[in-house]
Structure 1
Amino acid sequence: MGEPQPLNQSLYFVLPHDRHLPSGGNVYNEQLMAALRRYGQDVEIMEFSHYRKAILRDQAGFYAVDSLFVEDMKPLLNHNPQRAFSFFILHHLQSLFPPADLDAEQYFETYEKEVLNFFQGFLLTSEYSKKYLLDRGIKAPLMVVEPALSSSVQPAIALNYPLKTLMVANVIERKGILAFLQALSTQVKEEDEFKLHIIGRTDMEPAYYEACLKLVETSELSNKVYFLGEMSHENTLKQYAQHHLFISAARMETFGMAIQEAKAYGLPLLLCKGGNTEQHLTKRGGMLCPNIFKLAGNFIELCRNDALMRELWQSAKAEKNTTNRYTWDQAAAHFLKLFSDFYI
């Protein structure tokens, strides 16, 4: 197969103002755009206000719209442009983790389906997301381009105690951090040897972060759990090699880029079941827990059972050495082929 050819029109990525801040979606967009440019594709970032004008004028081009703009799309739904081709980048939908008082299916039908039906295609990060849309009657072509790894992997530190444990997640309810800390606080003892470092933004849901902080400060977790705040993606990648274990308490992941990165560094994975999470895990490389309480219990067991932790550690390292590397250039090539097959 020959090298993929760039598209015959400009490709506009319609992205949020906070696209420079750390999140899986922002990293995905940035890395895919950079790789597409390396293939000679004309790629530009567009503000949503400019995209709105492009739709109203039916300005020719390919427009990739980030999933954060579901609500902003609603005034445009009565338009039917012929030359402005729009596709949707699905990083997350609110129906995947709806408000507590709303049913997920009802939320999708009421607030999202009409918006999604506007788009002529979808760029998805996982087969899980593809199935989610197919099950809900979305008919447009669905392109799955999984995230790649963003750097060469450095050797991890030796396994010793206190156990250095890492979570990479913005401090929001969907990531399950407060529930995990609550469950952990009921099971931890002063003599348990671990340090849990949480990397992620703390400004997105301030009240939620304050509740997490208060719990840590008023429990046995006070000298064991540390919020490190947001870090650049580059600095976050360096942290994997400085830890022994990775935990995700997320209740929903459409892909799980931090999990993918931790696995590539050879860290054992302790994961809560939800969305695409389990696709990252083999029986040897970690544990998949059915709920938050079990996640906390398994973590405490690993802290107290050195033989079990070392077995998991060695299995994760062995798995890391057999993993094929997948690059962003490969991801971009796959995208260009899929796009050409579907639309050109």
Structure 2
Amino acid sequence: MTGFAFAIPGDIGLPTGGYAYDRRVIAEAPRAGGRLTHVALPGGFPFPSPAELEASAQTLRALPPGQPVLIDGLALGALPAPLLRALDRPLAALVHHPLALESGLDAGQRAQLFASETAALAQTQAVIATSPATARLLAQDYGVPAARLSVALPGTDPCPRATGTGRPVRLLAVGAVIPRKANVVLVEALATLRAQDWTCHIVGATDRDPAETARVQARIAALGLGERIRLTGTLPSEALAGEFDAADLFVTASLFEGYGMGLTEALARGLPVVATRAGAIPDTVPPAAALLAEPGDAGSLAEALRRLLDDPDRRRRMADEAWHYGHSLPTWTQTAAVLIAALKEMPR
């Protein structure tokens, strides 16, 4: 069985899509004919301190000579090219989405991350993206040759079909409360739909960006929606499954997604989707099961929501399409197999 080191910054147990992907491919790798050994890097990425960079370099240099290393993009894009070149070993990158496309960055930070990620990717022998849309970005904007690019779509576990709530219609949004998720836009869209019968649960970490959480909470209060919109914070897996089961409609106002694992879990549970035309979302959700709005446009999002809130028959038809499509999604073993194959094929 072929073994690879998998360098991941920070706490791999955190409830984010990227870390969930990393955990699952590590667990499934043996069934896919390979082995991924977790190598922990410091948690300051993508803006590591000099001490964190030095600690990362020492950790990577200490690996067995010549051992290939897969580096999660959260770290890879911020590691200096000379550091990577000096490792003198086969390197691969796993890119969930380009670092410079995170929301909330200033122009200087965006330029810094774009330059460092472009330079770092040039030092790799293989680049694995988690969606075709991200692969296209890496080829077009970051100069990654097509021959070095692979796509390993996230897996989806088989799920029971959502039961739903019905009255009021339960809307579900899943993801950390951070600027990229644009929850203020969602709140403002919902404020124009007061006449409709709905409640909304926003499930995800509220401690990643306290200022953004405060901003969302303030907007909910200012618009008088405290009885209808609930921020649950991070939930354990059983409680999250319960939220999906109680939902009638999945919604996201996200400004960018490298794939959108919450979207595919919603589809696997037979939930119709209202989302945005942002990043990989148009590739991730099938048109028959989703309505897409313009990113950052509360009016566009509200109109998409209104169309489904006002038309339960259409909602049911789209739910059936979602349930059917969900059965075609890849498993995590299939994801790991694609990733391991890309690592085995990279030049040594």
TM-score, with length taken from structure 2: 0.85
Shift of 1:199: 0.6
RMSD: 2.6
Shift of 1:55: 4.3
Amino acid of the structure 2 residue aligned with 1:131: R
Task: Determine the structure 1 residue equivalent to 2:281.
Answer: 277
Shift of 1:39: 4.1
Shift of 1:107: 5.4
Unaligned runs of 5+ in 1: 1-5
| Shift in alpha-carbon separation, 1:131–1:233, aligned structure 2, 3 A | farther
Shift of 1:106: 4.9
Shift of 1:160: 1.9
Unaligned runs of 5+ in 2: 43-54
Matched residue of 1:53: which SS? helix
Is 1:155 matched with 2:158? no
Q: Is the 8 A contact 2:92 2:343 kept in 1?
A: no
Matched residue of 2:176: which SS? coil
Is 1:312 matched with 2:315? yes
Task: Determine the structure 2 residue equivalent to 1:74.
Answer: 80
| Shift in alpha-carbon separation, 1:239–1:78, aligned structure 2, 3 A | closer
Task: Determine the structure 1 residue equivalent to 2:58.
Answer: 53
Matched residue of 2:246: which SS? coil
Is 1:246 matched with 2:253? no
Amino acid of the structure 1 residue aligned with 2:332: W
Task: Determine the structure 1 residue equivalent to 2:148.
Answer: 141
Which whole-Å CA distance do the structure 2 matches of 1:54 and 1:260 have between them?
35
Select 2:188's aligned residue among 182, 186, 189: 182
Which whole-Å CA distance do the structure 2 matches of 1:143 and 1:232 have between them?
32
Shift of 1:273: 1.1
| Shift in alpha-carbon separation, 1:48–1:156, aligned structure 2, 3 A | closer
Q: Is the 8 A contact 2:84 2:120 kept in 1?
A: no
Which whole-Å CA distance do the structure 2 matches of 1:66 and 1:282 have between them?
28
Identity among equivalent pairs (%)? 22
Task: Determine the structure 1 residue equivalent to 2:115.
Answer: 110
Instruction: Please give the per-residue CA displacement for 1:52-108, whole angstroms capped at 9, x wherever unaligned.
Output: 2254467321212112214651275374333x2221111132322465653999556
Select 1:213's aligned residue among 191, 194, 217: 217
Shift of 1:110: 3.1
Shift of 1:122: 1.3
Q: Is the 8 A contact 1:67 1:91 kept in 2?
A: yes
Which whole-Å CA distance do the structure 2 matches of 1:33 and 1:111 have between them?
27
Instruction: Please give the per-residue CA displacement for 1:26-66, whole angstroms capped at 9, x wherever unaligned.
Output: 11111111110334533321122665225446732121211
| Shift in alpha-carbon separation, 1:41–1:284, aligned structure 2, 3 A | closer
Shift of 1:242: 1.5
Shift of 1:311: 1.4
Matched residue of 1:88: which SS? strand
Shift of 1:19: 1.3
Higher mean C-alpha displacement, 217-226 vs 228-237 = 228-237
Matched residue of 1:271: which SS? strand
Shift of 1:161: 1.3
1:1-344 alignment to 2 at 5 Å? 6-7=1-2, 10-39=3-32, 41-48=34-41, 52-53=57-58, 55-56=60-61, 59-70=65-76, 72-74=78-80, 76-77=82-83, 79-82=85-88, 84-97=89-102, 102=107, 106=111, 109-136=114-141, 137-139=143-145, 141-150=148-157, 152-158=158-164, 160-185=166-191, 187-189=192-194, 191-233=195-237, 235-291=239-295, 292-293=297-298, 294-303=300-309, 305=310, 308-321=311-324, 323-343=327-347
Amino acid of the structure 2 residue aligned with 1:295: L
Which whole-Å CA distance do the structure 1 matches of 2:322 and 2:60 have between them?
48
Higher mean C-alpha displacement, 289-298 vs 219-228 = 289-298
Amino acid of the structure 2 residue aligned with 1:27: A
Q: How many aligned residue pairs are there?
A: 330
Which whole-Å CA distance do the structure 1 matches of 2:97 and 2:287 have between them?
27
TM-score, with length taken from structure 1: 0.86
Which whole-Å CA distance do the structure 1 matches of 2:96 and 2:26 have between them?
15
| Shift in alpha-carbon separation, 1:168–1:78, aligned structure 2, 3 A | closer
Higher mean C-alpha displacement, 285-294 vs 52-61 = 52-61
Shift of 1:211: 0.9
Task: Determine the structure 1 residue equivalent to 2:52.
Answer: none
